[in-house]
Amino acid sequence: MPISGFPEWMPPQRMIEQRVIDRARATFELYGYAPLETRSVEPLDTLLSKGETSKEVYLLSRLQAEEGQKSDDQLGLHFDLTVPFARFVTENAGKLQFPFKRYQIQKVWRGERPQEGRYREFLQADIDVVNRGTLPFHYDTEMPLVIGDVLSGLPLPKARIQVNNRKVCEGFYRGLGLEDTAQVLRVVDKLDKIGAQKVIDQLIETAGASQKQAEACLQLAEISSEDGSFADAVRKLGVQDPLLDEGLDELLQVVETARELNPGLVVAELKIARGLDYYTGTVYETQLEGYERFGSVCSGGRYENLATVGNEKFPGVGISIGVSRMLGVLFGQNALGVSRSVPTCVVVALPNEELRRTCDRTAAALRRRGIPAEVAPTAAKFGKQIQYADKRGIPYVWFPGREGEPDTVKDIRSGEQVEADATTWEAPAADLYPVISGS
């Protein structure tokens, strides 16, 4: 019986997911990120200290808990990979070389309301960089470039990474005279969901804003550009604050670096803020062209205070691909496909059971050379064995030679059949593995 929000994809979809994982892993390592996997559980107080997530945390408990178990021993499943990573850094700071660059590709759990592309158990692919004391800003400019390289190497719709800086927002709100900048951020972050008028109403009701201040917040949120012109648009609003100037300078670096190295990838979008409280500077959200209504599939940002030991800080910046979220949306729209439902490239036909050992040797010879191969499950008529391959999209059937005759291999798509030797025959590169395609 299916459980809502816990997807179990069929093998063709799982092969697509694995190809995405492989691409992410290879790209992350090209940029120097090292692999890491952290535990699935964290103390509940750790999870609840990082933002408004209490409704989303899944608790972990034994069916028969030990008597006298303290409530502060309560564990919860992690809802992202950044919080456990920060904990790992503080516990292992003496063993790590800084700046520390790592990637994690793991499951996370959130008690959200399941809907298309949103699950309660899902896979994320994260990169983060942390340093001791201070973290150079150029890592903020690297994050979207890495993600751009990952996604551009896959048959996906074009990605647009929206970038903002919380210093811009907080400095602007402070310059307006609004003190509860965190609440203003939370309200403005709902703009796409609730609309402009409700944002104004909530700013007046919950953040102490006047009508004029609330309208100014909306004017800031409406600014968007692919180049540095956003900075001039902000300054024309006439608000001044040192934090605002600092944020604009940082955001300019991210936008202009991406514009030079990957034109069209990044856009400054001053309405995004990210919901978690630990972000302090740059923030990222990513949409796929044509799928904007489904929201962000990749997000992250800069955090200065998430990882601390006493008076020592380990600031970081990170970004995360919601692999399950992204693929779930595309699967739901039939926007991704795979050329066959199994990895097999060649089925070795079985003339009779007495020759199974011989056919096993042929398949083994093909596998040793990196060609995925399997022997037909039964010694049925060759027509049925070809049908077995055809139903699975397997392109080739191998026929053992009879009484000293050479083996042959048949491309069942074209019908072409040629003599072949399992120690030398090469499958065309396009047929060797299943091919992922986008619609």
Residue 80 known to bind ligand: yes
CA 104, 105, 106, 108 dihedral sign is positive
Provide the residue type at 131 as one letter.
Answer: N
Residue 180 known to bind ligand: no
Residue 124 known to bind ligand: yes
Q: Taking the CB of residue 427, how many other CB atoms lie within 10 A of it?
A: 20
- Measure the CA angle with vertex 395, ends 392 and 399; round to 5°: 105
- Reading the block at residue 320, the tokens are 């995360």
Could you give the CA distance from residue 351 to residue 328 in angstroms, rounded to a whole number? 42
Residue 128 known to bind ligand: yes
Could you give the CA distance from residue 80 to residue 279 in angstroms, rounded to a whole number? 14
Residue 413 known to bind ligand: no
Residue 396 known to bind ligand: no
> 128 pairs with which residues across the strands?
102, 318
Residue 113 known to bind ligand: no
Residue 190 Cα distances to 68, 203, 223, 347, 412, angstroms:
43, 11, 16, 54, 54
User: Closest Cα partner for 148 from 27, 32, 295?
Assistant: 27
**DSSP-assigned letter for residue 93:** G
Contact of 234 with 250, CB cutoff 8 Å: no
Determine the number of helices (DSSP H) and then strands (DSSP E) in the chain.
15, 21
The HSE-up count of residue 163 (CA atoms within 13 Å, CB side) is 36
Which residues, other chains included, contact 161 with Cβ-Cβ below 8 Å and sequence gap of 6+?
144, 147, 148, 258, 265, 266, 267, 284, 285, 286, 298
The HSE-up count of residue 184 (CA atoms within 13 Å, CB side) is 28
Contact of 139 with 254, CB cutoff 8 Å: no
Residue 81 known to bind ligand: yes
Provide the residue type at 155 as one letter.
Answer: P
Could you give the CA distance from residue 106 to residue 122 in angstroms, rounded to a whole number? 8
Residue numbers in the known binding site for L-histidine are 80-82, 110, 124, 128, 274, 278-279
Question: Which amino acids are annotated as binding site, given as ranges?
Answer: 80-82, 110, 124, 128, 274, 278-279
